[in-house]
Chains A and B, each alone.
Chain A
Amino acid sequence: MSAAAQGLVAPNPPRAAGRAPALTFALRAIGPVLLLAAWYAATASGALTKDVLAGPQDVVTTFGELWADGQLPEALRVSVTRAGLGLVLGASTGLLLGVVSGFTRLGEELVDSSMQALRAIPFLALTSLFVVWFGIEEASKILLIGVACTFPMYVNVSSGVRNVDRKVVEAARSFGLGRLAIAREVVLPGALPSVFAGLRLATTLSVIALIAAEEINVTAGLGYLMARATDYLRTDILALCVLLYAVIGLLADLALRLVERGTMPWRKAVSIR
């Protein structure tokens, strides 16, 4: 019998994917924990002095103090409101223009070329111009953030809408759906992955634009806190603010990913890691 089976081999199937969630979490945590440890080691050993960069333990203490005396909650409220309003403004503009440009021929001809041209302008270059136009109050800050957020949203949404399966759109049309109904029922859900990709990029950019906007004559917000800390060489407050900017971005991204998971139940079945 075995002579008959000569030259045969056992197939080599791929091993089932999937690790214990705890192990995945541990692997993901390695990088951040190492960075934190290196920071701590550098400051605790004296290689980094406090006038260059405060250690993580000092940052934690400062966080406690600023939170307790109300400075930090107020600064966070002001800054997050600015970034949030700007994001909402920019993302909805980008979404609207993206759908119009991706879904209709006329829209593409009218909108796309100007958007591509405007996209080439670095939004940071607009800071001073916006102060001249909109003053030094909140309006210019929120508009600057809005402009920054519009373009990543526009680029992603218009390409996502363009990639929606034309056959499904045709089928929907044959069943009597109007243009608006098709956009709402077929095109937007189909483009949702791209919408979220755009939204996540826009969120990151809103925090970057926030920092630029808070360079403009601020009297409140994280930027104000940083400006004052610079005057007094408080590297602990500076490091804290830098970290907070990062945390704001991370939390917003996390929230979006959770929403993304919840709004596209039909994608769960095919998710391959």
Chain B
Amino acid sequence: MSSPGSAGLAVRTRGLRKVFGERAVLDGVDLDVRRGEFLALLGASGTGKTTLLRILAGLDAATGGTVLVPPVRTVVFQEPRLIPSKRALANVIIGQGRSARAKGLEALAEVGLSRHADAWPATLSGGEAQRVALARALVREPELLLLDEPFAALDALTRLHMQDLIAELCARHRPAVVLVTHDVEEAILLADRIAVLREGRFVTDLRVGIDRPRDRTDPVFVELRRRLLADLGVDTHAGTPREEVAR
């Protein structure tokens, strides 16, 4: 489906299937993600986006097919999922030993929370807790960062800040990223490549050719947004895979 670049691959799946009862949520998914590539997975709810991400993370088993991922991969979930009995820094370096404290503080500084290292998770706001979760994912220096609608539970303003933060951090650390979202604008803002899942398969897989920083009012942006929404909606103008969006 994709030609591996010189940088090599971070994700490869072939014929990936996941069946719940009678229903095949994923039905033969072939996916390659290159190292350092930012892929956004779009799809209506129940189309298997999160299922695919959980299989990549190694949280769920696939029913069939092959999956290859890097050994170091981390997840940011929809909710922060911090351990309430550990302070922010201890949450960030959980399982890494005390020697990781310096790196943990650095990661907290990167998400702008160095002053909250000693805070209990319950005292943090939703956005702060999610930034701690992001620091926890980054401190492990993942080759693959899996983001499962990490902004869905945040208010609109916090979400804008978080999107900028993710864009900045991913540009600095260059992990391969798979972002699951239902927000088309968010996908276009952040991703190098956008894939749309429907009925267990990719109906669209395209590269976003807009220069960064991206402007929501750019006509190309608007046109791409309109097209992706059509892909997601009832109106089925499935795009040709891997189409290059002309500027």
- Given known pairs A13-B60, A13-B61, A15-B61, the reply for A8 and B12 (CB within 8 Å) is yes
Chain B residues with Cβ below 8 Å from A12 are 58
A11 adjacent to B58 (CB under 8 Å): yes
Binary flags per residue of A7-27, CB closer than 8 Å to B gives 1, else 0:
111111111100000000000
Which residues of chain A are near B62, meaning CB under 8 Å?
13
Residues of B that sit less than 8 Å from A by CB: 4, 8-12, 55-62, 66-71
Tell me, rounded to whole Å, the shortest Cβ–Cβ distance linking A29 to chain B: 30
Across chains A and B, the number of contacting residue pairs, with CB separation under 8 Å, is 47
Which of B10, B59, B60, B67 is in CB contact (< 8 Å) with A10? Answer: B67
Residue in B closest to A8 when the chains form the complex, CB atoms: B68
In the complex, are the beta carbons of B9 and A9 less than 8 A apart? Answer: no
Q: Pick the contact of B55 from A3, A5, A11 — CB < 8 Å?
A: A11
Interface of chain A, helix or strand or loop or mixed?
loop
A1 within 8 A of B: yes
Those 6 A-B pairs whose CB atoms lie nearest each other, nearest first: A11-B58, A4-B4, A8-B68, A13-B61, A4-B9, A4-B8
The docked-state distance in angstroms from the alpha carbon of A1 to that of B66 is 15
A6 within 8 A of B: yes
Smallest beta-carbon distance A238→chain B, Å: 49
Q: How many residues of A contact B (CB 8 A)?
A: 15
The one of B4, B55, B57, B68 in contact with A9, judged by C-beta atoms closer than 8 angstroms, is: B68
A165 to B9, CA, bound (A): 47
Q: Which residue of B lies closest to A7 (CB)?
A: B70
Chain A residue at smallest Cβ distance from B4 = A4
Assess whether A10 is in contact with B9, with CB atoms less than 8 Å apart. no
Residues of B within 8 A of A11 (CB): 55-58, 67, 69
Chain A residues positioned under 8 Å from B12 (CB to CB)? 4-5, 8
**Structural contact, B69 and A1, CB atoms closer than 8 A:** no
Residue in chain B with minimal CB distance to A15? B61
Contact at B8–A1, with CB atoms within 8 Å? no
A7, A10, A11, A12, most chain B CB atoms within 10 A: A11
* A140 to B: closest C-beta gap in Å: 46
| Chain B min CB distance to A166 (Å) | 12
Nearest CB in chain A: distance from B123 CB, A: 16
Decide yes or no: A16 and B61 within 8 Å by CB, A7-B70, A8-B69, A11-B56 being known contacts. yes
**With the chains together, A4 CA to B9 CA distance in Å?**
6
18 example contacts (A-B, Cβ-Cβ < 8 A) are as follows A1-B4, A4-B8, A5-B4, A5-B8, A7-B8, A7-B70, A7-B71, A8-B9, A8-B12, A9-B70, A10-B66, A11-B56, A11-B69, A13-B58, A13-B59, A13-B60, A13-B62, A16-B61
